[in-house]
């Protein structure tokens, strides 16, 4: 059904799009998927203003029957604030479970349209697209000797909070009655109901897609505008390229005057019709030799060579987070501290693995080592330095001074639980997704499969056993046969349970979707090792 919606969108048959969307939102399978999505994610334990959670099979089954358009009236959002990196707070609006499920249901119908009308170099909140893709596109646009030398680094002021409701209702291709109810639902903060006159709530499942639809055309229409005004040949000589991730975007150009006098006024007019404006404090025009920060990286040319490194702000923010974690866990066991730190260190290191990050890795590892040394010394103020070092820091393989703790494996052998080695993270160039890729277009099916498999292998690179299982199952769940992706997640299941004497060997393990894993254990279903042709 989504493929048919995307096809009708590409053909410009909007009456058919509307009819197919209406059919899709009324199907049982779509409602089942919507309920499963909102009850299987991390937000499933966070309630809205009605304090209702769907935490049992009975409540979920009952919820499916409540996903109807007729008589639907969303409840106000629950307003909460979370801290931002700059010390300010970001407002979030938390819908009720029913409203989340309705948004997930209508997102199924809206997403094929949004993907089919999106700009080629828009990378935020879209399937199979990431910050690394945006970074790679900027490398393509700026790395050559003859590439553009000037960059308009832009940020939209309070994008989610100021989008014009009338514009959304006129231009978003979905059920306007439902959309109007969501936009005007209001929010409750400190027990008081507040009206929502503009913006989409940060926290709603459909909000990122609505923001993308609002900003779609920024790249395409700008290129068309320059071509119509200056001619196609002259417009190409300006070397204007747009790379956008959510509400942050970068526009390249041959000169500061072009970006200041031609590009920026057009962008401001484009945003003004949607109720948005550029942030004065975060928007500036810079030369590539001076460099700029984007998505946690610093882009700068050194003697004509473009180098992309972790930004100073990103490095400082991450170190502060690690330091606070260590100082806040002064009395925990060493093993518990290592288990707490390893996901943080691995995630940060892998995020920066496609760029020039070895120097940042080495520096970060040294700073964390000093923090852990102070943590260790504080626990034993009366002991000598050599004693503390022998207790907490060990030689493992060719690495010395590793923060590690002895552990006993299930087979009785002794090993080490060691801190993740940031400097040991391999640097590997990211392969960018093709700009025209559409996950709802059948002609891109084979490319999408190869892309999904290569990226899943990459995300599992430091978990070799999972890579082996993933490859042996051809990237499919051993229970339902559906694709295993970063979005669905996966669980490691033992065919013969360990409590019954089952082995940890790969022959006794398969990868399942998290919800399939729950079903297998709840129903006692027997899963077999998949046999590939």
Q: For residue 35, is pLDDT > 90?
A: yes
φ, ψ of residue 147 in degrees (nearest 5) = -70, 165
Looking at the structure, do residues 89 and 6 belong to the same domain, yes or no? Answer: yes
243: domain CATH number is 3.30.70.270
Contact 276, 159 (CB under 8 A): yes
Interatomic CA distance for residues 41 and 444, integer angstroms = 28
Q: For residue 466, is pLDDT > 90?
A: no
What is the structure's pLDDT at 485?
A: 81
Q: Last residue of some domain: 172, 196, 220?
A: 196
Least confident of 311-320, 374-383, 453-462: 453-462
pLDDT over 70 percentage in the chain: 96
Read off the pLDDT of residues 222-278 as tens digits, 9 standing for 90 and up: 999 999 999 999 999 999 999 999 999 999 999 999 999 999 999 999 999 999 999
Assign 86 a pLDDT band (cuts: 50, 70, 90).
low
Q: Last residue of some domain: 171, 196, 221?
A: 196
Looking at the structure, do residues 230 and 123 belong to the same domain, yes or no? Answer: yes
Q: For residue 461, is pLDDT > 70?
A: no
What is the structure's pLDDT at 499?
A: 62
What is the structure's pLDDT at 498?
A: 67
pLDDT over 90 percentage in the chain: 69
The answer to pTM > 0.85 is: yes
Name residues whose C-beta falls within 8 Å of residue 120's C-beta, 6 or more positions apart in sequence: 219, 435, 436
Looking at the structure, do residues 130 and 211 belong to the same domain, yes or no? Answer: yes
What is the structure's pLDDT at 412?
A: 65
Looking at the structure, do residues 133 and 220 belong to the same domain, yes or no? Answer: yes
Q: Last residue of some domain: 276, 291, 307?
A: 307
Which region holds residue 78: left if phi is over 0, alpha if psi is between -120 and 50, else beta?
beta
Looking at the structure, do residues 188 and 210 belong to the same domain, yes or no? Answer: no
Helix (H, G, I), strand (E, B) or coil at 331: coil
- Taking residues 139-151, report their average pLDDT: 95
Assign 409 a pLDDT band (cuts: 50, 70, 90).
low
Q: In what order do the strands lie in the sheet with 89-94?
A: 89-94, 77-83, 187-189, 192-194
Helix (H, G, I), strand (E, B) or coil at 524: coil
DSSP label of 144: S
How many domains does the chain fold into? 4
Q: Is residue 430 part of a domain?
A: no
The gap between the terminal CA atoms of the chain, to the nearest Å, is 30
Looking at the structure, do residues 77 and 126 belong to the same domain, yes or no? Answer: no
Length of the chain: 533
The domain in which residue 285 lies consists of 118-162+204-307
Looking at the structure, do residues 39 and 96 belong to the same domain, yes or no? Answer: yes
Least confident of 52-56, 84-88, 148-152, 396-400: 84-88
Place of tokens 């700029």: 292
Q: Which residue has the higher pLDDT, 414 or 52?
A: 52
Contacts 24+ apart (CB under 8 A), 527-531: 527/478, 527/479, 527/493, 527/495, 528/478, 528/495, 529/478, 529/495, 530/472, 530/473, 530/474, 530/476, 530/478
Mapped to the 3 state alphabet, what secondary structure does 476-492 carry?
A: ECCCCCCECCCCCCCEE
């Amino acid at each position: 059904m989504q493929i048919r919606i995307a096809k009708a969108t590409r053909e410009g048959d909007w009456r058919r799009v509307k009819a197919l969307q209406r059919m899709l939102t009324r199907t049982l399978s779509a409602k089942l998927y919507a309920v499963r999505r909102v009850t299987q994610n991390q937000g499933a334990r966070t309630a809205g203003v009605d304090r209702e959670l769907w935490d049992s099979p009975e409540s979920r089954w009952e919820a499916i029957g409540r996903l109807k358009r007729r008589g639907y009236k969303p409840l106000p959002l629950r307003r909460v604030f979370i801290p931002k990196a700059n010390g300010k707070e970001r407002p979030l609006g938390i819908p009720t479970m029913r409203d989340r499920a309705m948004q997930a249901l209508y997102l199924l119908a809206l997403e094929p349209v949004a993907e089919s009308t999106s700009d080629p170099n828009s990378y935020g909140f879209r399937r199979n697209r990431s910050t690394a893709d945006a970074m790679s596109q900027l490398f393509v646009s700026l790395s050559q000797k003859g590439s553009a030398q000037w960059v308009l680094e832009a940020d939209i002021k309070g994008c989610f909070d100021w989008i014009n409701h009338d514009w959304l209702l006129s231009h978003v291709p979905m059920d306007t009655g439902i959309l109007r109810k969501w936009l005007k639902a209001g929010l409750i903060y400190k027990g008081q109901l507040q009206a929502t006159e503009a913006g989409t709530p940060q926290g709603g499942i459909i909000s990122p897609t609505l923001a993308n639809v609002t900003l779609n055309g920024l790249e395409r229409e700008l290129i068309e505008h320059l071509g119509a005004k200056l001619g196609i040949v002259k417009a190409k000589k300006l070397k204007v390229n747009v790379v956008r991730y959510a509400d942050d975007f970068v526009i390249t150009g041959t000169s500061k005057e072009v970006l200041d006098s031609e590009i920026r006024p057009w962008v401001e007019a484009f945003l003004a019709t949607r109720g948005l404006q550029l942030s004065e404090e975060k928007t500036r025009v810079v030369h590539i030799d001076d460099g700029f920060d984007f998505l946690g990286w610093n882009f700068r040319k050194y003697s004509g060579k473009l180098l992309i490194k972790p930004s100073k702000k990103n490095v400082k923010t991450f170190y502060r987070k690690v330091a606070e974690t260590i100082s806040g866990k002064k009395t925990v066991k060493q093993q518990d501290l290592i288990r707490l730190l390893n996901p943080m260190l691995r995630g940060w290191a892998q995020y920066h693995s496609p760029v020039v990050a070895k120097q940042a890795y080495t520096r970060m590892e040294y700073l964390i080592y000093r923090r852990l040394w102070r943590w260790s010394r504080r626990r034993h103020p009366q002991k000598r330095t050599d004693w503390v070092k022998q207790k907490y820091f060990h030689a493992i393989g060719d690495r010395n001074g590793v923060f590690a703790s002895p552990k006993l494996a299930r087979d009785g052998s002794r090993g080490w639980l060691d801190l993740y080695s940031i400097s040991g993270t391999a640097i590997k160039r990211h392969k960018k997704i093709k700009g025209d890729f559409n996950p709802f277009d059948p002609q891109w099916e084979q490319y999408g499969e190869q892309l999904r498999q290569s990226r899943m292998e990459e995300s599992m690179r430091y978990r070799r056993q999972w890579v082996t299982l993933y490859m042996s199952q051809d990237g499919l769940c051993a229970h339902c046969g559906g694709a295993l992706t970063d979005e669905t997640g996966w669980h490691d299941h033992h065919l013969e349970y360990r409590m019954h004497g089952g082995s940890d060997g790969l022959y006794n393990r398969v990868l399942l979707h998290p919800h399939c894993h729950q079903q297998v254990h709840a129903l006692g279903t027997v899963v077999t090792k998949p046999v590939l042709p």
